[in-house]
Protein backbone atom coordinates (compact mmCIF):
# COMPACT_ATOMS: atom_id res chain seq x y z
CA UNK A 1 0.00 0.00 0.00
CA UNK A 2 1.33 3.42 -0.98
CA UNK A 3 1.65 6.44 1.28
CA UNK A 4 2.71 9.84 -0.01
CA UNK A 5 4.90 11.73 2.44
CA UNK A 6 4.96 15.50 1.97
CA UNK A 7 7.75 17.36 3.79
CA UNK A 8 6.55 20.93 3.89
CA UNK A 9 8.94 22.86 6.14
CA UNK A 10 7.62 25.77 8.22
CA UNK A 11 3.89 26.26 7.63
CA UNK A 12 1.49 28.67 9.34
CA UNK A 13 -1.05 26.75 11.43
CA UNK A 14 -4.10 28.10 9.55
CA UNK A 15 -2.51 27.09 6.25
CA UNK A 16 -1.82 23.66 7.69
CA UNK A 17 -5.48 23.26 8.65
CA UNK A 18 -6.59 24.19 5.15
CA UNK A 19 -4.11 21.78 3.61
CA UNK A 20 -5.46 19.00 5.81
CA UNK A 21 -9.04 19.76 4.77
CA UNK A 22 -8.06 19.60 1.11
CA UNK A 23 -6.23 16.30 1.52
CA UNK A 24 -9.05 14.76 3.57
CA UNK A 25 -11.60 15.64 0.87
CA UNK A 26 -9.37 14.14 -1.82
CA UNK A 27 -8.76 10.99 0.24
CA UNK A 28 -12.49 10.52 0.86
CA UNK A 29 -13.05 10.80 -2.88
CA UNK A 30 -10.33 8.24 -3.56
CA UNK A 31 -8.34 10.75 -5.59
CA UNK A 32 -5.13 10.43 -3.56
CA UNK A 33 -3.55 7.60 -1.57
CA UNK A 34 -2.93 7.72 2.16
CA UNK A 35 -0.79 10.76 2.89
CA UNK A 36 1.46 11.94 5.69
CA UNK A 37 2.11 15.69 5.98
CA UNK A 38 5.29 16.51 7.90
CA UNK A 39 5.98 20.11 8.89
CA UNK A 40 6.82 22.63 11.56
CA UNK A 41 4.61 25.46 12.78
CA UNK A 42 5.51 28.92 14.06
CA UNK A 43 4.68 29.34 17.75
CA UNK A 44 1.04 28.32 18.24
CA UNK A 45 -1.21 26.89 20.94
CA UNK A 46 -4.10 24.65 19.96
CA UNK A 47 -7.08 23.51 21.97
CA UNK A 48 -8.85 20.24 21.21
CA UNK A 49 -12.62 19.98 20.96
CA UNK A 50 -13.02 19.15 24.68
CA UNK A 51 -10.24 21.40 25.97
CA UNK A 52 -10.65 23.33 29.21
CA UNK A 53 -9.62 26.93 28.52
CA UNK A 54 -8.33 27.15 32.11
CA UNK A 55 -5.41 25.01 30.95
CA UNK A 56 -4.24 27.99 28.91
CA UNK A 57 -2.55 29.84 31.77
CA UNK A 58 -2.16 33.22 30.06
CA UNK A 59 -4.42 35.25 27.82
CA UNK A 60 -4.49 34.94 24.05
CA UNK A 61 -3.64 38.65 23.92
CA UNK A 62 -0.53 38.08 26.06
CA UNK A 63 0.56 35.32 23.71
CA UNK A 64 -0.21 37.36 20.59
CA UNK A 65 2.04 40.14 21.88
CA UNK A 66 4.83 37.54 21.96
CA UNK A 67 4.21 36.18 18.49
CA UNK A 68 2.14 33.11 19.36
CA UNK A 69 -1.30 32.32 17.98
CA UNK A 70 -4.16 30.37 19.57
CA UNK A 71 -6.54 28.07 17.67
CA UNK A 72 -9.46 25.92 18.74
CA UNK A 73 -9.61 22.76 16.63
CA UNK A 74 -11.75 19.65 16.12
CA UNK A 75 -9.03 17.21 17.17
CA UNK A 76 -9.20 15.15 20.33
CA UNK A 77 -7.25 16.09 23.44
CA UNK A 78 -6.80 19.29 25.41
CA UNK A 79 -4.29 22.11 24.91
CA UNK A 80 -0.81 21.77 23.43
CA UNK A 81 1.97 23.83 21.89
CA UNK A 82 3.59 23.64 18.45
CA UNK A 83 6.73 25.44 17.43
CA UNK A 84 10.08 25.31 15.63
CA UNK A 85 12.22 22.27 16.33
CA UNK A 86 9.17 20.02 16.61
CA UNK A 87 8.15 17.44 14.01
CA UNK A 88 4.41 17.81 13.47
CA UNK A 89 2.69 15.10 11.46
CA UNK A 90 -0.79 14.95 9.97
CA UNK A 91 -1.59 11.45 8.66
CA UNK A 92 -4.51 11.47 6.21
CA UNK A 93 -5.34 7.76 6.23
CA UNK A 94 -8.45 5.88 5.17
CA UNK A 95 -8.82 3.37 7.99
CA UNK A 96 -11.27 1.30 5.94
CA UNK A 97 -8.12 0.21 4.09
CA UNK A 98 -6.44 -0.77 7.38
CA UNK A 99 -8.63 -1.39 10.45
CA UNK A 100 -11.75 0.48 11.51
CA UNK A 101 -10.40 0.83 15.00
CA UNK A 102 -9.32 4.17 16.44
CA UNK A 103 -7.57 2.51 19.39
CA UNK A 104 -5.50 0.42 17.00
CA UNK A 105 -4.64 3.54 15.03
CA UNK A 106 -3.44 5.45 18.10
CA UNK A 107 -1.44 2.48 19.41
CA UNK A 108 0.19 2.14 15.97
CA UNK A 109 1.13 5.83 15.96
CA UNK A 110 2.59 5.48 19.44
CA UNK A 111 4.65 2.51 18.29
CA UNK A 112 6.24 4.69 15.59
CA UNK A 113 7.77 6.93 18.25
CA UNK A 114 8.62 4.23 20.75
CA UNK A 115 10.80 2.76 18.00
CA UNK A 116 12.14 6.14 16.90
CA UNK A 117 13.15 6.99 20.48
CA UNK A 118 14.86 3.61 20.77
CA UNK A 119 17.00 4.53 17.75
CA UNK A 120 18.44 7.27 19.96
CA UNK A 121 18.94 4.97 22.94
CA UNK A 122 15.85 6.26 24.75
CA UNK A 123 13.32 3.89 26.33
CA UNK A 124 9.95 5.53 25.77
CA UNK A 125 6.55 3.97 26.38
CA UNK A 126 2.80 4.46 26.55
CA UNK A 127 1.03 5.72 29.66
CA UNK A 128 -2.33 4.17 30.61
CA UNK A 129 -5.19 6.57 29.98
CA UNK A 130 -3.01 9.22 28.31
CA UNK A 131 -2.41 9.15 24.55
CA UNK A 132 1.09 9.86 23.37
CA UNK A 133 4.60 8.64 24.10
CA UNK A 134 6.30 9.19 27.43
CA UNK A 135 9.71 8.99 29.03
CA UNK A 136 8.99 8.51 32.69
CA UNK A 137 6.63 11.29 33.79
CA UNK A 138 7.39 13.50 30.79
CA UNK A 139 5.66 13.49 27.41
CA UNK A 140 7.91 13.23 24.37
CA UNK A 141 5.18 12.97 21.72
CA UNK A 142 1.70 14.49 21.95
CA UNK A 143 -1.20 13.08 19.93
CA UNK A 144 -4.66 14.34 19.04
CA UNK A 145 -6.66 13.05 16.10
CA UNK A 146 -9.92 13.56 14.25
CA UNK A 147 -11.89 11.00 12.28
CA UNK A 148 -14.46 11.63 9.54
CA UNK A 149 -15.90 8.72 7.56
CA UNK A 150 -12.88 6.74 8.80
CA UNK A 151 -10.41 9.21 7.28
CA UNK A 152 -7.95 10.58 9.83
CA UNK A 153 -6.59 14.09 10.29
CA UNK A 154 -4.53 16.01 12.86
CA UNK A 155 -2.00 13.65 14.42
CA UNK A 156 1.23 14.02 16.39
CA UNK A 157 3.88 16.46 17.64
CA UNK A 158 7.33 15.03 18.33
CA UNK A 159 9.56 17.23 20.49
CA UNK A 160 13.02 17.07 18.95
CA UNK A 161 14.71 20.46 19.46
CA UNK A 162 11.60 22.16 20.84
CA UNK A 163 12.04 25.12 23.20
CA UNK A 164 10.23 23.60 26.17
CA UNK A 165 9.82 26.95 27.92
CA UNK A 166 6.75 27.59 25.74
CA UNK A 167 4.93 24.79 27.56
CA UNK A 168 5.05 26.88 30.74
CA UNK A 169 2.08 28.89 29.41
CA UNK A 170 -0.23 25.85 29.51
CA UNK A 171 -1.13 22.70 31.39
CA UNK A 172 0.07 20.40 28.59
CA UNK A 173 -2.72 18.10 27.41
CA UNK A 174 -4.64 19.09 30.55
CA UNK A 175 -2.52 16.74 32.68
CA UNK A 176 -1.53 18.30 35.99
CA UNK A 177 1.65 17.09 37.63
CA UNK A 178 3.22 15.77 34.45
CA UNK A 179 5.88 17.33 32.28
CA UNK A 180 7.22 17.47 28.73
CA UNK A 181 10.59 16.59 27.31
CA UNK A 182 12.46 16.51 24.00
CA UNK A 183 15.15 14.45 22.33
CA UNK A 184 17.56 17.36 22.76
CA UNK A 185 16.89 17.57 26.49
CA UNK A 186 17.15 13.82 27.00
CA UNK A 187 20.41 13.52 25.05
CA UNK A 188 21.97 16.82 26.08
CA UNK A 189 22.62 17.93 22.52
CA UNK A 190 20.88 19.39 19.50
CA UNK A 191 19.48 16.78 17.10
CA UNK A 192 19.72 16.90 13.31
CA UNK A 193 16.05 17.26 12.43
CA UNK A 194 16.28 15.74 8.95
CA UNK A 195 17.64 12.50 10.44
CA UNK A 196 14.85 12.43 13.03
CA UNK A 197 12.33 12.86 10.20
CA UNK A 198 13.92 9.91 8.40
CA UNK A 199 13.47 7.75 11.50
CA UNK A 200 9.82 8.78 11.81
CA UNK A 201 9.09 8.03 8.15
CA UNK A 202 10.82 4.63 8.35
CA UNK A 203 8.91 3.52 11.44
CA UNK A 204 5.64 4.97 10.17
CA UNK A 205 5.98 2.85 7.04
CA UNK A 206 6.72 -0.27 9.09
CA UNK A 207 3.91 0.27 11.60
CA UNK A 208 1.25 0.69 8.89
CA UNK A 209 2.71 -1.55 6.19
CA UNK A 210 3.35 1.26 3.73
CA UNK A 211 5.57 1.70 0.74
CA UNK A 212 6.54 5.36 1.07
CA UNK A 213 6.69 7.78 -1.84
CA UNK A 214 8.14 11.22 -1.20
CA UNK A 215 5.80 13.78 -2.74
CA UNK A 216 6.65 17.46 -3.21
CA UNK A 217 9.54 17.24 -0.74
CA UNK A 218 10.69 20.39 0.94
CA UNK A 219 13.12 21.07 3.75
CA UNK A 220 12.24 20.40 7.38
CA UNK A 221 14.72 22.48 9.29
pLDDT tens digits, 153-198: 999 999 999 999 999 999 988 888 889 999 999 999 999 999 999 9
Catalytic one of 63, 88, 173, 193: 173
87 contacts 196 by C-beta, under 8 angstroms: yes
Angle of the 193-208 helix axis to the 102-119 helix axis, nearest 10: 140
Q: Dmax over Cα atoms in the chain, in whole Å?
A: 46
Position 15 scores a pLDDT of 96
pLDDT category, 77, cuts 50, 70, 90? confident
The answer to whether position 185 is within a domain reads yes
The answer to whether position 220 is within a domain reads no
The answer to whether position 48 is within a domain reads yes
Annotated catalytic residue 3: no
The answer to whether position 160 is within a domain reads yes
Domain region containing 185: 2-214
Counted domains in the chain: 1
In the chain, the percentage of residues whose pLDDT exceeds 70 is 97
The answer to whether position 221 is within a domain reads no
Mean pLDDT of 100-108: 97
Position 81 scores a pLDDT of 96
The CATH number of the domain holding residue 29 is: 3.30.930.10
The answer to whether position 76 is within a domain reads yes
The answer to whether position 148 is within a domain reads yes
Q: Taking 50 as the threshold, does the pLDDT of residue 221 lie above it? A: no
Amino acid sequence: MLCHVEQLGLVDYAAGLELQRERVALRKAGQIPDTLLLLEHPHVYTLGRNADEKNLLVSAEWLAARGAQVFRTDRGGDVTYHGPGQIVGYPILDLTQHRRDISWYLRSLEEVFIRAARDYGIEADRSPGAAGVWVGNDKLVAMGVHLSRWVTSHGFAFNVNTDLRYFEAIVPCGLHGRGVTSLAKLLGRRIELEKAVDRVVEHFATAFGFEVVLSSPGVVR
